[in-house]
Structure 1
Amino acid sequence: MTDDMLLVDVEDGIATLTMNRPDKRNAMCDELLHAIDGFFRAPPEEVKAVVLTGTAGHYCSGLDLSEHKSRDAEGTMRHSRGWHEVMDRIQYGGLPVVSAMFGAVIGGGLELATSTHVRIAEPSTIFQLPEGRRGIYVGGGASVRVGRILGADRMVEMMLTGRKYGAEDGYVLGLTHYSVGEGEALNMAQDLARKIARNAPLSNYVMIHALSRIEDMDKAGGLFTESLCAALTQTSPDAIEGLAAFLEKRAPSFGA
């Protein structure tokens, strides 16, 4: 059952993960979350980049409230922290992840999307954080990930009013990096994933890990961390290969 909720296709080093709960607008339940977590805990060795998408016209409509379980304060906190662990594993697992979005990117779906590194939105995309209208508060990381994109002021307004943003507004605000035509997100996501996968694995890994953490640092700490990252990558065998390929006017062949 869990396997059916998350379809995994691996081709040429690119894994396409499709959330598959079409009758629920791909709403997130524990089984689907565990399936996503399971992939990122132990991805196939040949995978160099990941595309994450939905089916039946929707990316992910958030937490499946029809399967909501009554929890006390401790249980709710632990459930929220479990979401944080999964979102962190996506963001910091070392694999670049590209989201191909359309339809609902709502609540937990937006939290999921903003844990990925590149986001592409079709015209049907709707970004929303409706938790305030349901008497609750976000628990899957939106306070940090969406808040850093929008800023606290705009996020407060978004949550208080339940405001919906479309693909174009989402592009302007930074919720998506690309705004594309209908039916174009998945192909573009796979093309970008293939392009990213051709980078040196070490430099991809360092970019994924370093940049968001540098954002948390003071200026001096950030600059020192940058120097460490430069030293690590620029003295690697892939850096030598990259320079040689540039000088010889050929495509580089980076190692695993």
Structure 2
Amino acid sequence: MTSSDLHIELRDDVAIIRLTRGAKRNALSDGLILALRDAFQNLPASVGAAVIDGEGPHFCAGLDLSELKERDAGQGLAHSRLWHAALDCIEKGPVPVIAALHGAVVGGGLELASACHIRVADRSTFYALPEGSRGIFVGGGGSVRIPRLIGVARMTDMMMTGRVYNAEEGERVNFAQYLVDEGTAFDKAFELAKRVATNAPLTNYALMHALPRIAEQPADHGFFTEALMSGIVQAAPEAKQRVRDFLEGRGAKVSKG
């Protein structure tokens, strides 16, 4: 499954979705955004997790500004909403998504990374939001997703001053959950995706769709939502079998990593 901008490969129960505009540092054109949307809307039922990677030395250097041109306000609104719909297919799609970050994770590239559920960065990674210096504003969901990772104050600073975070700083402020040696982000992301794909599908669904909502609810609402999801998930036949396996000594036990 291949297009000029996106390559999709299935390795057992993991989908590898790779941006292939390396000559343009994987800048996000409208065509590439639509290809990402279509990829996640049409994943085979056998897929249990996905990895997003970027061809070449950079994950994604942001919006392809050559397409910005002379949009009026209405066109700009529609364009932003197109990105929202596409990236929602990643964040709120059928399977957990792990991003393999390296090189530039800038502007729209950071918006794409923030739509993923787990982010692995190698030591070449750097993060920036240069929209402020270019007279524009984030439009791909960044104003919602990025503050959830790093807070409003840090995002404001990045956009106002052009601040760039390197890989170590990025891990510290929560852009990425994992920091690995240069050139190994994909390997780690794929390892995690294989592990995640073995989880009970309904548990992964609850973590993707319920947990973020619970985190934003008032405590009493959150407790009730948690109780509903707990009851639903543990009632699944696969969950019952996994509990039986553990109680009968067939399930894996927690150990120090």
TM-score (norm 1): 0.95
Q: CA deviation at 1:215?
A: 2.0
Q: What residue number does 1:55 align with?
A: 55
| Counterpart for residue 169 of structure 2 | 169
Q: Which residue of 2 aligns with 1:131?
A: 131
Output the amino acid matched with 1:46. Answer: S
Match of 2:241?
Answer: 241
Q: Deviations over 1:25-49 (max 9, x none)?
A: 0000011111110011111121110
User: 1:193 — aligned with what?
Assistant: 193
Task: Tell me the distance in 2 between the aligned counterparts of 1:183 and 1:93.
Answer: 28
**Cα deviation per residue 1:101-128 (whole Å; 9 max; x = unaligned)?**
1001000000000000000001110110
Q: Sequence identity, in percent?
A: 46
Determine the structure 2 residue equivalent to 1:82.
82
Inter-partner Cα distance in structure 2 for 1:197 and 1:220: 32
Larger CA deviation: 65-74 vs 169-178: 65-74
- Pairing 1:57-206 to 2, within 5 Å after superposition: 57-206=57-206
**Secondary structure, in 3 states, of the residue corresponding to 1:249?**
coil
- Please say which of residues 169-178 and 59-68 is displaced more in the overlay: 59-68
Distance in 2 separating the partners of 1:211 and 1:238: 20
Counterpart amino acid of 2:85? E
Q: In 2, distance between residues paired with 1:189 and 1:248?
A: 32
Amino acid at match of 1:203: T
Structure 1 position 166, deviation (Å): 1.0
The answer to which of 148-157 and 30-39 deviates more is 148-157
Superposition misfits of 4+ residues, deviation over 4 angstroms: none
Distance in 1, Cα, partners of 2:164 & 2:250: 46
User: 1:72-109: CA deviations, max 9, x gaps?
Assistant: 11110111011111111100112100000100100000
CA shift for structure 1 position 155: 1.1
Partner Cα distance (1:42, 1:69) in 2: 31
Number of the residue aligned with 1:218? 218
User: What RMSD over aligned residues (CA atoms) do the two structures have, in Å?
Assistant: 1.2
Residues 138-161 of structure 1: CA distance to partner in whole angstroms, max 9, x if unpaired?
111111100121111111111101
Deviates further, 3-12 or 110-119? 3-12
Report if the CA contact (8 A) 1:121-1:185 is conserved. Answer: yes
Rounded Cα–Cα distance in structure 1 between residues aligned with 2:231 and 2:13 = 28
**What is the aligned residue count?**
251
For residue 58 of structure 1, report the CA deviation from its aligned partner. 0.7
Q: Distance in 1 between matches of 2:9 and 2:174?
A: 28
Residue ranges of structure 1 left out of the alignment (5+ in a row):
none
Residues of 1 paired with 2:41 and 2:93: CA distance?
8
TM-score (norm 2): 0.95
Assess if the C-alpha contact under 8 Å between 1:129 and 1:158 holds in 2. Answer: yes
Per-residue deviation, 1:251:
4.6
SS of alignment partner, residue 50 of structure 1: strand
Match of 2:255 in 1: none
What is the 5 A alignment of 1:6-85?
A: 6-85=6-85
> By how many angstroms is 1:167 displaced?
1.0
In 2, Cα distance between equivalents of 1:168 and 1:197: 28
CA distance in 2, matches of 1:219, 1:78: 35
Query: Retained in 2: the 8 A contact 1:94–1:204?
Result: no
Q: Secondary structure of 1:170's partner? A: helix
**Cα distance, 1:244 vs structure 2:** 1.1
